[in-house]
Chain A
Amino acid sequence: MIKTKKIVINPVTRISGFMEINADIDNNIVEDARTEGLLFRGFEKMLEGRSPLDAVYFTQRICGICSAAHSVASTMALEDALGIHISEQGRYLRDIIHGCEFLQNHIRHFYQYTAPDFIKFPEGNTLFETDHTDFRLPQNKNDSVVGHYFDSLEYSRSAHEMLAILGGKAPHNHGVFIGGITTQATLEKISRLRSLIVGIRRFVCEKMIPDAYTIAEYYHEYFSIGGGYGNLLTFGCFNGYERLGSLYVKPLEYSEGKINELYPGEITETVYSSWYTARPETYMPFETIPEPDIKKSGAYSWVKAPRYRGLAYEVGPLARMWLSGDYRNGISTMDRTLARVLEAKKIANIMLTLLDHLIPGVEVQKEYDIPHSAYGAGLIDTTRGALGHWVKIENQVISLYQIITPSVWNLSTRDRNNLPGPGEKAMIGTMIINPDSPVELGRIIRSFDPCVSCATHVYSKGNLIKTMQVVP
């Protein structure tokens, strides 16, 4: 029997972007685990010196599956900097666009990214061949989910069609902008949006949610695998409407069994274990953009580490559904998947409410003046969790642009206190049934819906230093 073994999974497929999982196992138990992003583009550096207004379309190109999220956060940061108060109708329109992306993303994440971990496709298609045999659904149930894998394409596509009706195109929309969006709701658009959302909602309720519960029934141990810290955080979304109040969740955090109000001023990011230098090493978002430094000693990865009051937090659908009180079954791999599909229904309902309150023909655009110098933050929960954009303007151009994405929270690295990131923590302690086919690790990590395109980290072959620290 194998006593100790090192597991490397690269590529971790069915995520957005490139990632490696490194795990050390001893007697089939994961003793230590690391998540590493394998892509660096440097958007924050690119944005310096550009027109602040261009950030909305520019930052969307960070990510092809969640581009609208960046347009929303970027717009909010600019509104904060320019001192613009968005109208109620502007918010409804923008939030409907954002909701379209939640649905597109959640449907694709469940069927195209998650389901192939648990269902067996018919032979003969290379794309669907797997390297493990842990398939447990009875034939008829398995085949039903396989059918829905393909049926789902119509509905994720519909969600992007809705996004384009208001936003021009998707991915990388043009509609989200300062003040809300660039177009007006017409009766024709509203009725088309309603007809599409009703179809999507029906698919989510009649197919996607039951399919997720079917998988949960046959893979029940995943309710006790991949828990992690159990610290949850949200920036809030679909909340704080003047007329409608909160339709979902406000900024909150959950730690040590208690839900507390969130104070965004207490967010820091550290590059302690990352190939960056920054002074100070742990900084507030407006303070500094770290410089790449592949020779930094003691670092083992390029993934940065955001913390709230010094703690690592999980973000995403489960965090939101837990903090809003909609889902309190547990914190685990399977709970993340269930929270995600249940959230899809919740978002569809919120969008129907927002559509009900749209007034046709309201124009929300103005001509905006760029101040000589200003700064602003846009903090919003998006499909994968808490997304923050922080912008500083000097001489009417961007002088600093800081982005902390949800996947940076979830895939963050060890800090000065040697605390692993939430994704790493979720893998540590897991029992791997067959170390030659460690299907558990991919399933745990995919439950976070990681997006490495968003995390924009660097990896360096010559400088990978293996840390063997004991995890507290």
Chain B
Amino acid sequence: MNKVNNPCLNYSTRLKTASVLVHKAIEAIKHKDIQKRNLIWLELTGCSGNIISLLNGANPDFKSLASQMVNFIYDNSLMAAEGEAAMEKLYSMTGRDYILAVEGAVSTKDNGLYNIIGRWKGHPVTAYEVIKEFGEQAAYVIAVGTCASDGGISAARPNPAGCIGIQDMLDRKVIKLPGCPCHPDWFMGTLAYVMLFGEPETDNRQRPLMFYSTLIHDICPRRPYFDQGIFASKLGEKTCMFKLGCRGPVTRVDCPIRKWNDRVNWPIGDNTPCIGCAMFGFPDQMEPFISYDTT
């Protein structure tokens, strides 16, 4: 299932990017070369699928992240505290050093009241307010997933909740890790990189080049079929998915190398087209996802 005959030259090195960085960060913390940083993870207007994806991280896993790499201060899905006590942990970070990870878009309709993340001193706190309050002050802001990066499916037409990506709310650089969901390696690797070296090199859409510089189509294992004009006419076939609407030719991310869930598979490996979930404009600009008559 995990084929090594991939057309990428640096295949084995690139597979290890995230784990090498994370292990290096953990070692540096042990040797007191760098300090553990505080991490706030905000789930905003989305499906909370990126924190679930983070739990799928394998090497190293969530336990290493939470126990050896960062002080995990806040996350709605995982923290033991609830109610006001949970919000106190978030607000205890005001004026302190922290890295902010955000999943989900920001709902702007009706003063942001379509997404309340908690109550602080009796008042409802909207996603809109919390991103303003904690986004500007963070040491780094990492947009995790397509909704936080560019609005994503939460902003799909007619955009009933008036969703926007977090960069549109902030007058500062946001590092974007689009993908629906974000691959755990992309987040873990980026987090380790900023702790070790500061901001990683990014492209013109603020995506770290170490994960987002490859066009899927260029290293797709089914590229030979494309070059020979052998196209699948329905899902389930083992040839090129281009005529079914594959967005590999426009999507920049390293899925063909990294694959998903302990590297066992990925959408094209599952005989389905890439739907461009890591792309600006997903989903509206990437549809139809599946079409039998694109010729």
Contact = CB atoms under 8 A, between A and B. Distances in A.
B123 to A, nearest CB: 8
Contact of A153 (B62, B113, B161, B277): B62
B124 A174 contact: no
A389 interface: no
A92 interface: no
Contacts of B32: none
Contacts of A461: 113, 124
A46 B45 CA distance: 15
A40 B47 CA distance: 11
Contacts of B265: 164-165, 167-169
B181 A64 contact: yes
A167 B154 CA distance: 23
Given A39-B115, A41-B154, A51-B287, A129 B81 contact: yes
Nearest to A8: B119
Given A14-B82, A127-B79, A53 B180 contact: no
Contacts of B87: 11
A162 to B, nearest CB: 9
Given A53-B290, A161-B262, A182-B235, A45 B86 contact: no
Interface in B57-104: 58, 61-63, 66-67, 71-83, 85-87, 89
A57 interface: yes
Contact of A129 (B45, B80, B113, B161): B80
B154 A54 contact: no
A163 B66 CA distance: 25
A182 B289 contact: no
Contacts of B72: 125-127
B247 to A, nearest CB: 12
Given A18-B115, A164-B260, A189-B1, A41 B78 contact: no
A164 B49 contact: no
A136 interface: no
Given A182-B271, A188-B1, A10 B83 contact: yes
B236 A169 contact: no
Contacts of A63: 47-49
A374 interface: no
Contacts of B79: 13-14, 126-128
Nearest to A302: B114
Contacts of A18: 43, 76, 115-118
B171 interface: no
A182 B236 contact: yes
B48 A16 contact: yes
Given A51-B288, A182-B272, A64 B89 contact: no
Contacts of A192: 1, 264
A327 interface: no
A113 B79 CA distance: 9
Contacts of B47: 16, 61-64, 67, 171, 453
B12 interface: no
Contacts of B149: none
A324 interface: no
A172 B283 CA distance: 13
> What are the 3 closest A-B residue pairs judged by CB atoms, nearest first?
A64-B49, A42-B160, A168-B270
Interface of A: 8-18, 20, 38-42, 45-46, 50-51, 53-54, 57-58, 61-65, 67, 108, 112-113, 116, 121, 125-131, 150, 153-154, 156-157, 160-161, 163-175, 177, 182-184, 188-189, 192, 292, 294, 363-368, 442, 453, 458-461
